[in-house]
Chains A and B, each alone.
Chain A
């Protein structure tokens, strides 16, 4: 149980393209999902917290106009990298918490999206 599906797994596109990444909780509802970014051989850096039905909360230094987050349902959050440039190339990972379970519960992670901007 508690499976998170992230799609696509890999994107290669030209500079200036906008890219949408989907994060779905397949067998549970998630009022909160999280988006992380990971550079090669580094740890995960939290980008934003996605809240169902409300605006996302962005971490300091993350451009909200650059990384658009929409959490329109209890099972889907999307991250759109707008007008992507080579410096946006990275590994993006989402995670979700099971709705109603917040204390002392693990997060469930998607398999990540490798974004490469040429």
Chain B
């Protein structure tokens, strides 16, 4: 089953602009993770934020988590054409269990 919605479903921006994707989930979580998927490929882990954290940074990525609203956002700053991919949030309800994925946002960055 899927956790919830991500919005927008698709996002098209120019290089250098920032991209913000949002994710909502339904159940309590242990952590929330963001993954990237290039077309026809597997998933690459980007960042993990624990349920007791509110914000986390990694390079050009910034993730926020609001457990009261059961939502998270991923911000990619100064986007590049190479950032073009699908981005998924995934939640880990209990340690060691499978990830449950959101529907994903398809990001297109044009140069």
Q: A: which residues have CB within 8 A of B?
A: 4, 6, 32, 34, 36, 41-46, 49, 59, 91, 93, 95, 97, 102-112, 114
Contacts and interface: CB of A to CB of B under 8 A. Distances in A.
B44 A109 contact: yes
A114 B41 CA distance: 9
A45 B2 contact: yes
Contacts, number: 64
Given A43-B2, A106-B45, A106-B48, A112 B40 contact: yes
A91 B86 CA distance: 15
Contact of A46 (B45, B48, B100): B100
Contacts of B62: none
B80 interface: no
A104 B45 contact: no
Interface in B82-106: 88, 92, 95-104, 106
Interface string B14-39: 00000000000000001101010000
Contacts of A34: 98-99
A5 to B, nearest CB: 10
Contact of A6 (B42, B44, B106): B42
B81 interface: no
Contacts of B95: 102-104
B78 interface: no
A42 B101 CA distance: 10
B40 A114 contact: yes
In the A-B complex, the 10 residue pairs with the closest CB atoms:
A102-B96, A106-B45, A103-B95, A109-B42, A111-B42, A109-B43, A102-B95, A44-B101, A43-B101, A43-B103
Interface of B: 1-2, 30-31, 33, 35, 40-45, 48, 50, 88, 92, 95-104, 106
A109 B102 CA distance: 16
A44 B50 CA distance: 22
B45 A107 contact: yes
A77 B42 CA distance: 17
7 contacts: A46-B98, A46-B99, A103-B96, A104-B31, A107-B99, A111-B42, A112-B40
A103 B92 CA distance: 9
